[in-house]
């Protein structure tokens, strides 16, 4: 089978011409900054063991987590390339306590970009897949420059204009959605371009895999424990296998392709959940819904949550319609 040699930049431009023929091209320019930055991160990940950038720094981030050397490199790379686009007013990262304002574009910049520069970075030292997650929001124009920065960042997920991730694994793959389905592009290192490899990706309504950290399952609420028992016993009509990588990007990527469900429930130690709403749960939920799946915090739709803080945490249950709806039914009966 011969792949269609369509680059991500060409795909973005074609979608823009088809859906928004009068668009200025600024959005495409912004996405090209993300693709360029992630190519650089991919190169650093591949060479990490040879370049002396494995391991941790002596710092901790705002989450209280130990910062990996590659976290710093990925964060700086994204900040640099997005800050140079000329249309990004504000950036927010897992690694920065506060939003980063692009001073020259604060008044006229149209976009806010929120990202996790290197999800699953603790897996780097053992050569397990990691990734970058991003979310793009439109901001209100503010010629005075006096608008509260957090008001532009703390938008519910349904206001995202695009979201995506890059998984750095056996191959480097970019997956993004901007309102017209989910599309995947594989990086061809021989020419340095992301080429379309998975067009209009759809999540199966039902799968055979569940993904969660079962070491914490005794701390899950009772309904989640019953749900896992149903999956293992075949009570839902088929027996499920357990697969858990511990990198959200990698675990969700498998769920997107194969179906099933990924769960990060509340626990006794993290009753409000552990994943971050703005730059982990929201972009993943946007992609899931664009692909025909569902994403919830156990009470309602992830994309409807109105955030109250930059690093707000949430439970995340995401996957095929049948699994998520079954779990929600069980939660509702508790």
Task: Give tens-digit pLDDT for 224-239.
Answer: 999 999 999 988 888 8
- How far apart CA 131 and CA 168 sit, in angstroms, is 5
Q: Give yes or no for a contact between 96 and 75, defined as CB atoms under 8 angstroms apart.
A: yes
| Confidence band for 78, pLDDT divided at 50, 70 and 90 | very high
Q: Which residues, at least 6 apart from 7, have a Cβ–Cβ distance to it below 8 Å?
A: 185, 193, 194, 195, 196
Please give the structure tokens belonging to residue 110: 């149209």
Give the Cα separation of 200 and 290 in Å (integer). Answer: 9
> Distance (Å, rounded) from C-alpha 246 to C-alpha 244?
6
| Average confidence (pLDDT) over 125-137 | 91
Q: If you ran DSSP here, which 8-state letter would residue 278 be given?
A: I
Strands 209-211 and 241-242: parallel
- What is the residue-averaged pLDDT of the chain? 89
252-275 average pLDDT score? 95
The per-residue pLDDT for 223 is: 95
Stretch 54-58: mean pLDDT: 52
- What angle is formed at CA 249 by the lines to CA 227 and CA 231, rounded to 5 degrees? 15
Name the token pair of 292. 């025909």
pLDDT value at 240 more than 90: yes
- pLDDT of 144: 63
Note the pLDDT of residue 127.
79
Rounded to whole angstroms, the Cα distance separating 260 from 257 reads 9
List residues bridging with 131 in a β-sheet.
119, 167
- Percent of the chain past pLDDT 90, that is, above it, reads 66
The model carries a pTM of: 0.92
Confidence band, pLDDT 50/70/90 cuts, at residue 62: low
pLDDT digits (tens, 9 = 90+) for 186-207: 999 999 999 999 999 999 999 9
- Of 287, 273, 213, nearest to 243 by C-alpha is 213
**Residue 224 DSSP code:** H
Note the pLDDT of residue 1: 45
Neighbours of 303 (CB within 10 A): 18
Cβ proximity of 116 and 279 under 8 Å: yes
| Least reliable range by pLDDT among 50-64, 229-243, 307-321 | 50-64
**Stretch 63-72: mean pLDDT, rounded?**
71
Q: Is the pLDDT of residue 164 over 90?
A: yes
Interaxial angle between packed helices 69-83 and 26-46, expressed in degrees from 0 to 180 and rounded to the nearest 10: 160
pLDDT of residue 14: 84
CATH class name, domain 209-332? alpha beta
What is the structure's pLDDT at 67? 64
Strand partners, 162: 136
- Rounded mean pLDDT, 241-268: 96
For residue 38, pLDDT beyond 60 = yes
CB atoms closer than 10 angstroms to residue 278? 28
The ranges assigned to domains in the chain are 8-201, 209-332
- Bridge partner list, 68: 56
Look up the CATH number of domain 8-201: 3.30.540.10
């Amino acid at each position: 089978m011969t792949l269609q040699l369509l680059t991500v930049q060409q795909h973005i431009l074609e979608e823009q011409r088809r859906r928004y023929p009068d668009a200025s091209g600024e959005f495409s320019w912004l996405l090209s900054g993300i693709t360029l930055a992630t190519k650089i991160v991919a190169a650093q990940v591949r060479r990490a063991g040879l370049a002396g950038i494995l391991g941790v720094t002596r710092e901790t981030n705002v989450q209280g987590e130990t910062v990996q050397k590659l976290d710093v490199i990925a964060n700086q790379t994204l900040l640099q390339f997005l800050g140079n686009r000329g249309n990004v007013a504000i950036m927010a990262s897992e690694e920065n306590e506060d939003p980063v304002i692009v001073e020259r574009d604060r008044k006229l910049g149209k976009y806010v970009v929120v990202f996790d520069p290197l999800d699953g970075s603790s897996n780097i030292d053992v050569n397990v897949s990691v990734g970058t997650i991003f979310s793009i929001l439109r901001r209100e124009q503010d010629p005075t420059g006096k608008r509260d920065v957090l008001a532009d960042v703390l938008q519910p997920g349904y206001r995202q204009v695009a979201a995506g991730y890059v998984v750095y694994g056996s191959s480097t793959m970019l997956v993004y959605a901007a309102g017209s389905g989910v599309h995947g592009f594989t990086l061809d290192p021989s020419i340095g371009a992301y080429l379309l490899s998975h067009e209009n990706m759809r999540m199966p309504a039902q799968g055979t895999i569940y993904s969660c950290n079962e070491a914490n399952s005794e701390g899950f609420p009772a309904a989640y424990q019953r749900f896992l028992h149903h999956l293992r016993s075949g009570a839902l009509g088929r027996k499920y296998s357990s697969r858990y990588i511990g990198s959200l990007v990698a675990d969700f990527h498998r769920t997107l392709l194969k179906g099933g469900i990924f769960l990060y429930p509340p626990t006794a130690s993290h009753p409000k959940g552990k994943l971050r709403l703005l730059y982990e749960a929201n972009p993943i939920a946007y992609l899931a819904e664009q692909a025909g799946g569902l994403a919830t915090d156990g009470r309602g739709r992830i994309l409807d949550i109105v955030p109250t803080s930059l690093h707000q945490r949430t439970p995340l249950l995401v996957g095929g319609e049948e699994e998520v709806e079954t779990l929600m039914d069980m939660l509702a009966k508790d």
